[in-house]
Structure 1
């Protein structure tokens, strides 16, 4: 008699395959970004592009305020090669807790104030204002 039935061998093979797939995906997501990449910060409110800021032009911290609908306020600070929200009048302040971003892995989002800060490589910044590479693919309300 067979010590291991064929379905156990298949289950083991599938488990090993899924484990390898998960580890490969995790390593691709967590690898450090290229250090020589320059980024542009695109700031959106209500899905509209408010401004684009090159992060490599800042040698000292620069702070500015964005006021939205209903008087909502976000204070944004641009540091050399990073950007973040340092204060907001939203109730949960999760956007402040996201800290400063330095690569395009995750955007900073303030849902109550409908503000999104996304980073993109600066090499794509040349072009007309109708360039759709800076337009978010979805906006949550």
Structure 2
């Protein structure tokens, strides 16, 4: 009976440790995905087609929503919508529509990718100068 009680205690302890690790990982993922750019960070969206940078948009300075077309090879077309702090592909003539269903993004966790039309939209943060001599460090610097 003592051996089974010790095994049960070890199993409960292991389960508790794994639960704590899972909770801490969840908190970290939530914090990263909901981080804001209010700490001296500029938010940019880089739009690539066939590996070539077409346009860079500073999302944190956008005040009004607007849309524009990105034409591609062979009649390919994507409609991009830019909102303050986020960007999305709202229509495309690709067959699977995965890029459209991804919705608006505002972090660098997952880029929007339209493989049939060879279009990639990546969001990135960059430190901005507060004055002529001071750069604000990003989260990686700490």
**Fold shared per TM-score above 0.5:** yes
What is the distance in 2 between the residues matched to 1:46 and 1:74? 14
What is the distance in 1 between the residues matched to 2:104 and 2:95? 20
Correspondence 1:37-76 to 2 at 5 A: 37-76=41-80
* 1:35 shift after superposition: 4.9
Task: Give the alignment's TM-score, normalised by structure 2.
Answer: 0.73
Report the equivalent of 1:12: 12
Contact 2:89 2:100 in 1 (8 A): yes
Task: Give the alignment's TM-score, normalised by structure 1.
Answer: 0.74
Report the equivalent of 2:116: 112
Shift in alpha-carbon separation, 1:74–1:14, aligned structure 2, 3 A: same
Shift in alpha-carbon separation, 1:35–1:54, aligned structure 2, 3 A: closer
- RMSD between superposed Cα atoms in Å: 2.2
What is the distance in 2 between the residues matched to 1:91 and 1:75? 15
Shift in alpha-carbon separation, 1:61–1:12, aligned structure 2, 3 A: same
Correspondence 1:86-97 to 2 at 5 A: 86-97=90-101
Shift in alpha-carbon separation, 1:13–1:70, aligned structure 2, 3 A: farther
What is the distance in 2 between the residues matched to 1:91 and 1:50? 23
What is the distance in 2 between the residues matched to 1:30 and 1:5? 37
Report the equivalent of 2:133: none
Report the equivalent of 1:22: 22
Q: Give ranges in structure 1 of 5+ residues lacking alignment.
A: 125-141
* 1:68 shift after superposition: 2.2
What is the distance in 1 between the residues matched to 2:97 and 2:78? 10
SS at match of 2:2: coil
* 1:83 shift after superposition: 0.8
Q: How many residues align?
A: 124
Contact 1:38 1:121 in 2 (8 A): yes
Cα deviations across residues 14-51 of structure 1 (Å, max 9, x unaligned)? Answer: 32222211111111111221251431001122333222
